[in-house]
Amino acid sequence: MPLAMPLIVKSEDLMEAYMIAPPCNPGENYTLDYLNDCLRINEIKIGILTDQLEQIIEKRLYGKKILVAKGAAPVDGKNGYFEYMFNTELNNKPVEREDGSVDYKNTKMIELVEPGQVIAVYHHATKGTNGYNLAAQFQLAKSGVELPPLRGTGFECMEDGVTYKATTGGKITEMNDRVNIFPVHELYGDVDLSTGNIDFNGDVIIHGNVREGMTVKCTGTVTVDKIVENATIDAKKGIVLRGGVLGSGGAQITSRGDIAALFIEYAHVRTEGNITADSFLDSHIYAGGHIHLNGKKGCIVGGTTHAVCGVSATAIGNDAGANTEVTVGVHRDVFRKMHLGHTAMVKNRQMLEKIEIGLRQLETMLVQQGLEIRQDPRYTALVKEKIRLSAEIAGQKEEENVQQQLLQSSMGATIEVVRDIYVGTKIGIDEQLLALPADQHTVAFRKRNGHIIMESIGYTTR
């Protein structure tokens, strides 16, 4: 008797086919050619899994549904890409060690490269692999897209067309597929009278101290490995003070970016960003973001500390009753400033409206008299005053928007104390200020229904 015809089951998308082979008579078995012919009769032209057919024959897999043919989906090629040989994600936040201390030595705000250093390697796009179904109908794959040459400054492409090397040393950055190497002022020693003050268009790295009376200013970041004494540091993009600040009451530290310092003592510090440190002592601190003092010490003793978005510390004040004030939210003076600014803007708008009416009336009168409008001194004076008032109103509106954003970011600001806060410490949120009547432990202060409340928080005492 002739061999039975296996049942072929195909998927709707013609990407898979299964075979169910009926049992053979004793002494008979299917052959590979026979099973292949059965598949071809069922219009299965490619993708046949010969090893599966052999299994059916060798193991007599009768009556079972066995996958015997499989198509292939198209695989698109990969786009070209640049592999950067430098750190593009810097760790500008200090890392807390297991013992509770904070590591400021590895805090980096910039990545440095040297001339001749490989900064990037380009990997070309790859072609795609076409797909097919069992009926030999092909599905075209997309090839990857090549990228244009690397854009930026301070580097060159090698003869191989894919390797890029720095032509100058300095700070390297990558943003929006553009790489730039900027100048860096690096000083292997102290900033003192022998070096003079530093005023640099870029980033500054100082491997020594900044001595008393000296000034370091830059448009980028400042990193100081050792102590900042009674000096001035002004960096637009951020500051790392690995050795801390020992200011003797006159140190001035200012930035628009984040500030990280081992400790800050007897200094004035102001930033629009966040501040991270191990301790504050008798200093006056302001941050437009958060202040974190969660290291092994993590303490604020004496002085005034204000953060718009919140403060977290291990301890605040001391058992000697140091005069310590910690506040969050919108500073009390801001509300008065906002009121005065809004009142002044309303007056300016009223004045501007009167000037515009006066201009229209003057124009009408001059036209009726047949006079040249722009040559009339009264008209010129009113136009100048209109321009002045319009500019002043625009500035007042911008300032009001900044203050409104400040109010928005300060909503929900809290003061968290992981361990101890001592009696006599003053706590403030927005316009409210209270003196702590007794020592407290592991608490948070927040504003609710217009009042400062104190809540227990779930920290474990160190």
pLDDT given at position 67: 96
Q: What is the pLDDT of residue 430?
A: 86
Please tell me which of 301-310, 334-343, 374-383 the model is most confident about, judged by mean pLDDT: 301-310
pLDDT tier at 89, thresholds 50, 70, 90: confident
Residue in the structure block whose two tokens are 């036209």: 367
Q: Rank 138-142, 334-338, 366-370, 409-413 by mean pLDDT and report only the highest.
A: 138-142
The pLDDT of residue 462: 35
Is a pLDDT exceeding 90 seen at residue 95?
Answer: no
Burial class (CB within 10 angstroms; exposed 0-12, middle 13-18, buried 19+) of 252 = middle
Spatial distance between the Cα atoms of 113 and 267, rounded to a whole number of angstroms: 33
Closest alpha carbon to 386 in 356, 344, 358: 356
Q: What is the mean pLDDT of residues 40-56?
A: 94
Across residues 319-337, what is the average pLDDT? 82
- The confidence band for 52, taking pLDDT boundaries of 50, 70 and 90, is very high
What pLDDT digit, counting tens, does each position of 352-361 carry?
A: 999 999 988 8
pLDDT at 330: 81
Average pLDDT of 262-291?
95
- Helices 377-410/332-368 angle, 10° precision: 160
- Average pLDDT estimate for 441-461: 82
pLDDT of residue 100: 64
Question: Is pLDDT at 268 greater than 80 in this prediction?
Answer: yes
**Which of residues 405 and 396 earns the better pLDDT score?**
396
pLDDT per residue over 208-256, tens digit each?
A: 999 999 999 999 999 999 999 999 999 999 999 999 999 988 899 999 9
Predicted confidence band of residue 4 (pLDDT cuts 50, 70, 90): confident
Task: Check whether 398 has a pLDDT greater than 90.
Answer: no
Write down the pLDDT at residue 97: 67
Q: What are the backbone dihedrals phi and psi of residue 19, each rounded to the nearest 5 degrees, phi first?
A: -120, 135
Q: Tell me the pLDDT of the chain averaged across its residues.
A: 90
Size (the chain), residues: 462
Type of residue numbered 58: E
CB atoms inside a 10 Å sphere around CB 217: 17
What's the pLDDT score for residue 460? 40
Give the SS3 label for residue 406. helix
* Share in percent of the chain as helix, strand, coil (round to 5): 20, 40, 40
* This model's pTM is above 0.85: no
Per-residue pLDDT for 331 more than 70? no
Distances (CA, A) of 416 to 165, 235, 296, 413: 48, 29, 16, 10
Rounded to whole angstroms, the Cα distance separating 243 from 229 reads: 10
- 128, 74 in Cβ contact below 8 A? yes
Q: What is the distance of C-alpha 407 from the center of its chain?
A: 22
What confidence tier does 340 reach under pLDDT thresholds 50, 70, 90?
confident
The number of C-alpha atoms within 13 Å of 341 and in the hemisphere containing its C-beta is: 19
Q: pLDDT (tens digit, 9 = 90+) per residue, 123-182?
A: 999 999 999 999 999 999 999 999 999 999 999 999 999 999 999 988 999 988 899 998
